[in-house]
Amino acid sequence: MKLLNRRLITGLGALLLSLSSAATYAGPLSLWAADGWTLMSDPAQDGIIGPGGGGQQFDAEGLYFKQSGSLLSIGLQSGFNLITGYESHAASPGDYYAGDLALSFDGSAGPTGFEYGLDFGLLTKDYQLDLVDMGSTTGIDPAGFYSVSSWNNDVYSGHTSSNPFAIDGGALLSSFSSNASGSGVVGGETSYYRTVTFDIGSLGLSGITDLDAHWTMSCGNDVINGSGTLTSVPEPSMLALMLGGLMGMGWIGRRKKRATA
């Protein structure tokens, strides 16, 4: 009976959260207009991009990317607090956490198709408030770019189309060279952002490559998906050869100048 009551209260809380009034979409923050960011998604409205609701506080608003050689940058905008990765709400269970950002480079996006993920280094708990990590037992893993062996999909049962939620098992491929967050006000609404930059040179990507991304929060009230196209990524070995060749040409040039003198 106690378990039934708990599930009933939790379900009613999620329903109340979904039915919370939605505000007008905040619009993109000004930082995306500069420095080469490209929009990966097309947010239509605040609170109910899909599958749930919850107003500005639980709104997934935009995904962006930019590439410089083997360095890939991903930007996320949300009404959900991306600085702390945490939001409280009157609806049960009351505590909600930001998920990890799922990535795919082979066109196999979906609940089980995202083979990579970005962990922002924040405390992560699922909808049942259980810790989610890759063995640290604290709910906090090192921030970085991971290959993913398993995903946590424990969001509210009515929002399973929001999955995957957070990295449950994987291996760190590279740390972020930058990991920034902040907030701004657009159209009277507060939105948060997080941007990360990391190296994908070890993936062996060549030619034109599909990029798919996905993000949600622990209630699954809102979800955002995006896609883009990457240019050919130089492999580290090729970069080393090019650098060595340039250094060699410079050395030969200096010897010729000395010989002429």
Q: pLDDT per residue over 199-239, tens digit each?
A: 999 998 888 889 999 999 999 999 999 999 999 887 654 44
Number of domains in the chain: 1
On whether residue 247 sits in a domain, the answer given is: no
261 occurs within a structural domain = no
Q: Which residues are within 8 A (CB) of 76 and not within 5 positions of it... i.e. 6 or more apart?
A: 62, 63, 64, 82, 101, 193, 194, 195, 215, 224
Tell me if 253 is assigned to some domain.
no
Specify the pLDDT at position 50. 62
Domain with 207 in it = 2-230
The whole-number pLDDT of residue 20 equals 45
Residue 33 lies in a domain: yes
Domain-located, residue 249: no
The answer to the question of residue 194 being in a domain is yes
Instruction: Evaluate whether residue 245 is within a structural domain.
Output: no
Q: What is the pLDDT of residue 112?
A: 65
Residue 159 has pLDDT above 50, yes or no: yes
Q: What is the mean pLDDT of residues 36-44?
A: 79
At 259, is the pLDDT very low, low, confident or very high (cuts 50, 70, 90)?
Answer: low
Contact 57, 87 (CB under 8 A): yes
Q: Spell out the long-range contacts of 150-154 with Cβ–Cβ below 8 A and sequence spacing 24 or more.
A: 151/102, 151/111, 151/112, 151/114, 151/117, 152/126, 153/111, 154/126, 154/127, 154/128, 154/130, 154/218
Indicate if the pLDDT at residue 2 is higher than 70: no
pTM of the model: 0.81
Whether residue 82 has pLDDT greater than 80: yes
Structure tokens at 220: 């699954």
Q: What is the pLDDT of residue 5?
A: 40
In a domain, 246, yes or no: no
Per-residue confidence (pLDDT) for residue 73, from 0 to 100: 98
Please determine, for residue 258, whether its predicted confidence score (pLDDT) is greater than 90.
no
Best mean pLDDT range from 56-65, 171-180, 220-229, 251-260 = 171-180
